[in-house]
Each structure stands twice: as structure tokens, then as C-alpha cells.
Amino acid sequence: MSKLMNYLPPFYSEIKDFTELMSTEEVEVNALRAAIDRLLDDQFVMTASERSIKRREQMLGIQADPATESLEFRRLRLINRYSTKPPFTIRFLQERLNSLVGPGRATVDVDPRNFVLSIAADIDNASIFKEVEHTVRTTIPANLVYQQKTALTGRIGISEHITTRSIHRQMRLGTTWRLGVVPISEAGPEVIIK
């Protein structure tokens, strides 16, 4: 029996038309309830659907790439853009970088004598790097020069090997060699020297 039947007088429960009508309407009411819940969730960035995130990105002029950027990063970027409001201080910029990159992975240093703002960051994701760049460009005053210092803590391994391959030419002038019938040359097997 449908839950909506509880709102009708008891004698309607014996009429088949009303029981079928209420069971059909219950599906619609459940769909409406789910749509209302989704609408409420879309009002907040942290619980918004991908469609709502895309709409907010369009409003802010953000070109998102869903293939390389996760929904979680896109939410973080929207929160960063919404919360980037003046007045700007070094502490504010450090807090923004900590929320984007992670605590302790980026440090802000200002040289007031030379008007230079330096940021050393351990960023291995290009999307996050672009967002840090945008945040810094929108928060620093016009009289400061921005210098990015990369502080990656990784190692690069290099290996090498040398191979050789003999080539036997089959094309000779004055012979019966014909274009397109016999290959010009044949490569021998590859041999590793080192």
C-alpha cells in the first residue's frame, strides 16, 4: 500500500482506482523529493553536482578540463575563487596556498626592499600549479614582482644503452632490381653493445 493512502479517508483504500493512483503519484512525489534534495545540495559548493559545478565555473569564466581535473579539485578551485577577496596579507596568501597545495608544501617570502614576492612550492600537478598562479596574480599588489621557486622533492633516474643494426642494401645499379618489387634495403637484427 502506498504511503499517500494514509492521507486519504479510509474508505478510499477499498477503491482500486485510488490505490493505483496513489501508487503512481508516490513515484512522482519521490522523484520530486529527490530533485528538491539535489537542488538544496547544489546550493553549496562542497555538495554540488558536476552540473552545478560546471555552471559555477562558467559564471566565473573558468575553463575546466574534466578529463584531467577531478571533481574534488574543481570544488577546491571554486572555493578558492569565491574566498579570494581583499584585503590581502601575507598570512592570507599563505593560508590560501596551504588550502590549495597542502600544509607546509608552499612558503611565501617577501623582500620589501627589492619589492619581490617569492613562493617556493612543491607542486606536481599542473592544474594546481595554474590555480596557485591565478591566486598569486589576483592577490599580490601591483608594485611587487612575483618569483616562483619550484621545490620538488623527487629523484630522476637516467639509464642508457647502445644498440647497433646492420643494413644490407639490395638496390644496385645495372642489376635487375625493380622499384616496388624488391625492398631498397633490409635491416639486420638489433644487437645491444652496452
Whether 104 contacts 155, CB under 8 Å: no
**What pLDDT, in 10s, does the model give residues 33-60?**
999 999 999 999 999 999 999 999 999 8
Task: Compute the radius of gyration of the chain from its Cα atoms.
Answer: 33
Q: Can you read off the three cell numbers belonging to residue 59?
A: 559564471
Q: Is the pLDDT of residue 24 over 70?
A: yes
**What pLDDT, in 10s, does the model give residues 60-114?**
899 888 888 899 999 999 998 888 777 778 888 888 889 888 898 888 999 989 9
Q: Is the peptide bond before 87 cis (omega within 30 degrees of 0)?
A: yes
What's the pLDDT at 154?
64
Burial 105-143 (b: 16+ CB within 10 A, else e): bbebeeeeeeeebebebebeeebbbebbebbbeebbeee
In whole angstroms, what is the distance from residue 26 CA to residue 7 CA?
Answer: 12
For residue 150, give Cα distances in angstroms to 90, 96, 124: 19, 17, 10
